Amino acid sequence: MQRELGTGTVTGNLVGKHDDILRLHGGLHPIICGHLIFEGSGLDPRYSYFTNIREPVERAVSWLHFIVNNHRPDELTPGLWEQAEVFLRTGDELGEMIPYHLNNHYVNHFSSISSTAQMTDESKLELALQNIQQYDVIGDFGDLPQFTRNISNFLKIPVATKLEHTNITSFRPEITQISTNLRERLFELNNLDLQFYQKLKSVNFHANSKRKVENIVERKWEVYNEPHLPTEKPKTIQVVAVKLKPESYVLDSREILDFSLSFSTELSIEKIDLIISIYDEEGRLAFESSSDLSSSSPTNLCPGVYETHFYLVPDLPEGEYSVRFSFQEFDNGSSHHLGGVDYDLRFRVQVDRKVETKGYSALSAKFLCHQISSDPIVDFDDATGFTAVSGTFEKMHPNETLWVPVEIVNRSLHDWVGTIDKPLQLKHEWMMAGDNSWVDAPKPHFIIDRIDAQSSFVANINIKAPYQPGPYDLRFILAQGDSDLASFGFASDGFTVNVIKWSEAKRYGAADVRLFSTTGQPLGSVKASSGADGFLTYGPFCDLPRGDYLVVFEGSVVDPGTSSYADVAVNEHVLIQKPLDKEENTNVIAQLAFSLERNSSRVEFRIWVDRHADIQLSGIQVVPTRLD
């Protein structure tokens, strides 16, 4: 299309947020091409929209092979190539960067046109179908010639005789040629997209293919390549000369420049505004001002020749600049554009550098260097130490994320120091419980500058549970560069985590890392009130699907106090609250039944105690009683 209509009419392939792309390119190009990211602001009514849909699983296979076969790892966002390669090879290990591209991409994309709120799969699919109905042309990737004819018909331009291929994957097998495991996983990940595609294929693609295709002979668009500043010679006045003093190409950024312009007029002019515009090397407007803005416009001009001066200190970044003048005439309160004048008036700003530097700016800088240690950094061979996790998290939901405080203890007689080439980093790995097969390869999560001898450091690590329920071994690893320090005496802390289904009951122990407190005192495996007002517990800020639940606060109540209560909150808004009293069941502090009408995030189960309360919390159990 750019070849048919010109680079000034059609953009290249852009990638970015919908609103940002329209703001940056909409004023320059009437046709915008690209991959747009929507954030719920809707389609712009000033534009028509075209889109082309590909069979979802075929699209996923093509994307994976395009990433892995057409790119080097260093050409992409760090980690993307590696995660795509692992998933393509295994069909199981879905890295955190992959779902955006492969998990119901179409439904997520088109539903986000009008909303990014959480919703059920059915609602999201319905919203995506509603939004795509607003598009003017919807095409099927399997029939690009028809899609091209529909666009040409819409724009009233001749149909292109040849379609150029872009972003061609160097190698891509057919869907039937990929592994059964990968194929089944892609069908699972794109369940909504497959429904979306089949619906469009039966309705919209058919409707588009039946559009009446006109035989366009006369072109309705003119080819327009590269926009340029208009050059319109003034009609009422004649420019005699434009000069710059000092008469030098290279100018100091601190000296005063004198732009003088002389012009002649045969008519009387009530008021004239002289506008000066300065553009940088890339054609961007660096500065603009006018005689009217400075309240110095010439007024009541009689026929004759006039000379104007504009004084300027070019405090600009170092580089070459060009100047343009334009004029406006004011008559009886209204203004009339008289035209613009481009002269080959160029100058280069040079920045005075007291110290030799590079770049277009001269900044005040000072360098200092002093010794901070008499011991050089060498590869250490004594890594005696261990990791320890404060708190517990025995159960997690699939793909649940949480922050884990991991203490790294240096028991050696040497400081551990990382460098740029060999950073000291903490990693974690998930393995199937009982064997040594990786579920997720070790990933560096935290870079540590140094840990002094006989000291420790606490790192907060964000982990994400595997997507398949089951028992897993989680292990934290300390490494220097690519070397695991276990071979030098470091003991990695590992433990079993059960990833449970959403329909199963989930228990949080009082010492769970997802539970917090403002007044509670840890006493072994329980958390006890301390004689102060505040939250004995709050958290875990979890995600829960729509449904009915029962939350059981386990522990004992010796004295409930006078105003203590338990509640359930969603995004800090209280859903249900119950004053605390002694329960008949001595192992239960309180039980609350509640319902969620939609999928919810940041759900909390809280106990607030007053200073008179004597309560011990041993855990919180959340039991789904009905899930939609």
Q: HEC string of 529-596?
A: CCCCCEEEEECEEEEECCEEEEEEEEEEEEECCCCCEEEEEECCEEEEEEECCCCCCCCEEEEEEEEE
Give the tokens for residue 432: 């199937």
The stretch 526-549 carries a mean pLDDT of 95
Judged against a pLDDT cut of 50, whether residue 210 lies above it is answered with no
Q: What is the pLDDT of residue 327?
A: 81
CATH superfamily of 237-350: abc- transporter (atp binding component) like domain (2.70.50.60)
Judged against a pLDDT cut of 70, whether residue 194 lies above it is answered with yes
**Listed range (78-92, 208-222, 488-502) with the worst mean pLDDT:** 208-222
Residue percentage of the chain with pLDDT more than 70: 89
Strands 137-140, 50-53: pairing is parallel
| CATH architecture for segment(s) 506-627 | Sandwich (2.60)
Give the tokens for residue 274: 């002289």
Query: What span, in angstroms and rounded, lies between the C-alpha atoms of 237 and 46?
Result: 39
> Do 38-203 and 506-627 share a fold?
no
Query: What span, in angstroms and rounded, lies between the C-alpha atoms of 186 and 58?
Result: 9
Give me the residues paired with residue 309 across strands.
260
Judged against a pLDDT cut of 70, whether residue 52 lies above it is answered with yes
pLDDT digits (tens, 9 = 90+) for 67-85: 998 877 765 666 889 999 9
Contact between residue 411 and residue 385 where contact means Cβ atoms under 8 Å apart: yes
Instruction: Pick the more confident residue, 206 or 489.
Output: 489
485 phi, psi to nearest 5 deg? -80, 5
Query: What span, in angstroms and rounded, lies between the C-alpha atoms of 498 and 472?
Result: 6
Q: Which amino acid does the sequence have at 131?
A: N
The stretch 148-168 carries a mean pLDDT of 74
Is 38-203 assigned to CATH 3.40.80.10?
no
Contact between residue 544 and residue 602 where contact means Cβ atoms under 8 Å apart: no
Instruction: Pick the more confident residue, 130 or 362.
Output: 130
Judged against a pLDDT cut of 70, whether residue 583 lies above it is answered with no
Contact between residue 422 and residue 379 where contact means Cβ atoms under 8 Å apart: yes
The SS3 assignment for 73 reads: helix
The stretch 347-370 carries a mean pLDDT of 78
Give the tokens for residue 577: 């609250």
Highest mean pLDDT among 21-30, 42-51, 346-355, 486-495: 42-51
**Can you give the pTM of this predicted structure?**
0.46
User: For helices 56-70 and 191-202, what crossing angle results, to 10°?
Assistant: 120
Q: What is the pLDDT of residue 612?
A: 94
Instruction: Pick the more confident residue, 559 or 74.
Output: 559
pLDDT digits (tens, 9 = 90+) for 490-531: 998 778 899 999 999 999 999 999 999 999 999 988 999 999
Region 385-499: CATH code: 2.60.40.10
Residue percentage of the chain with pLDDT more than 90: 42
Contact between residue 407 and residue 388 where contact means Cβ atoms under 8 Å apart: yes
**Listed range (8-12, 73-77, 227-231) with the worst mean pLDDT:** 227-231
Contact between residue 158 and residue 70 where contact means Cβ atoms under 8 Å apart: no
Judged against a pLDDT cut of 50, whether residue 211 lies above it is answered with no
Residues in the chain, total:
628
Contact between residue 525 and residue 618 where contact means Cβ atoms under 8 Å apart: yes
Q: What is the pLDDT of residue 597?
A: 93
Domain segments of the chain as ranges: 38-203, 237-350, 385-499, 506-627
pLDDT digits (tens, 9 = 90+) for 589-627: 999 999 999 999 999 999 999 999 999 999 999 999 998
389 phi, psi to nearest 5 deg? -105, 125
Instruction: Evaluate the omega torsion of the peptide bond into residue 540 and state whether it is cis, within 30 degrees of 0.
Output: yes
Strands 573-579, 565-570: pairing is antiparallel
198 phi, psi to nearest 5 deg? -65, -40
Cβ neighbours, 10 Å, residue 55:
19
pLDDT digits (tens, 9 = 90+) for 295-320: 888 888 899 999 989 898 988 888 88
Instruction: Pick the more confident residue, 175 or 455.
Output: 455
Judged against a pLDDT cut of 50, whether residue 213 lies above it is answered with no
**Listed range (329-338, 471-480, 568-577) with the worst mean pLDDT:** 329-338
Convert 381-400 to b/e letters by CB count within 10 Å (16 or more is b).
Answer: ebbbbbbebeebbebbbeeb
